[in-house]
Amino acid sequence: MLQTLLLFSAFGLLLGLPAITDAKECDKPCMNGQCNTATGNCVCSPGWVGDQCQHCGGRFRLTGPSGFLTDGPGNYKYKTKCTWLIEGTPDSILRLRLDHFATECSWDHLYVYDGDSIYTPLLAAFSGLIVPERYGNETVPEVVSQSGYALLHFFSDAAYNLTGFNISYRVNTWPNSCSGRGECRVGNSTGAVYCDCDANWKGEACDIPYCLSDCGWPDGGHCSQDTKTCRCQPGWQGPDCSVSVPANSSFWQREEYPEPGLARASHKAVVDQGVMWVIGGYVFNSSDYQMVKACITSAPSAGCLSTALSTQSWDDTDTLWHYMRGRSTCTEGK
């Protein structure tokens, strides 16, 4: 037996083939590939690079009804360019959940498109930190594609790098599993999925309370059962009636508005006599010189009224005037 092995090794050397004794094991495990025993190096699967195939560095195509995508374990590589195409079924709802996200803020970005190319609508551009397991982010972002397809492109520069991202996706599932505050339903006629929220909760994923902190009852205010909003006692204000009058701290006020247009970046804004003017900016899919006039008050000024063209039901306490691209819409209380 030994003589046979020696003869086979010698014959292999004569033919220029690697001898049996040349077989090598890879020093480190190949995370997304296989070990080449002839060289002792990892041979990476398509889309992966690095000595252990630990970094994304190419294109990926995902076709399952659910799945998972990541830039790889550990920190991502400098000058990374990675692309994922998720192919669902046409006109289905595709939901992507960012379970972990950490990139160099304002320099390393993940772009998400609603379709199979960069020429489809841009849904989101992420950069920075979303680390629920460490920083306790209250809401893990979820991106929804209406076309049934999603294209994700990640780019990093030549400097600082972080741990990257872990993203899961599902086709035709309920938003954030209704946040544990509602029942998952399927529409009889359309087959679309939606959340039937519990009492005192609203939003697509049942993640928005009607009355925050019970409106500070009994001192601060109470929750109106008619409008499901907080009615503050004299001397209190804010979405949960927790801020004194005059205000001793800043607070955010959520305004419901059915038409898009106010959300933008790199714009200029100024507030004058209860009216906020927003000029210019970008809305991701296009850039245009636009001016938006938002008047949030229970008694609109005459200047707002003089240019109103249409009226829609919105809220019984506030009025929002929206001027954009030469047309006017007015939404006011019933």
Domain boundaries, the chain: 54-171, 174-209, 212-254, 268-332
pLDDT, tens digit (0-9, with 9 covering 90-100), for 131-190: 776 655 456 778 989 898 999 999 999 989 999 999 999 888 777 778 888 888 877 766
CATH 3.90.320 fits 212-254, yes or no: no
Q: What is the CATH number of domain 174-209?
A: 2.10.25
> Which CATH number is correct for 54-171, 3.40.50.300, 2.60.120.290, 2.60.120.200, 3.40.1190.20?
2.60.120.290
Q: What is residue 114's DSSP assignment?
A: S
- Could you report the per-residue pLDDT of 187-222, keeping only the tens digit for each? 776 667 788 998 888 888 888 888 888 898 888 999
Q: Is the pTM of this model over 0.85?
A: no
From the list 122, 109, 191, the residue with the least C-alpha distance to 150 is 122
**pLDDT score, position 6:** 45
Cβ neighbours for 134, distance < 8 A, ≥ 6 positions apart: none
Same fold, 54-171 and 174-209: no
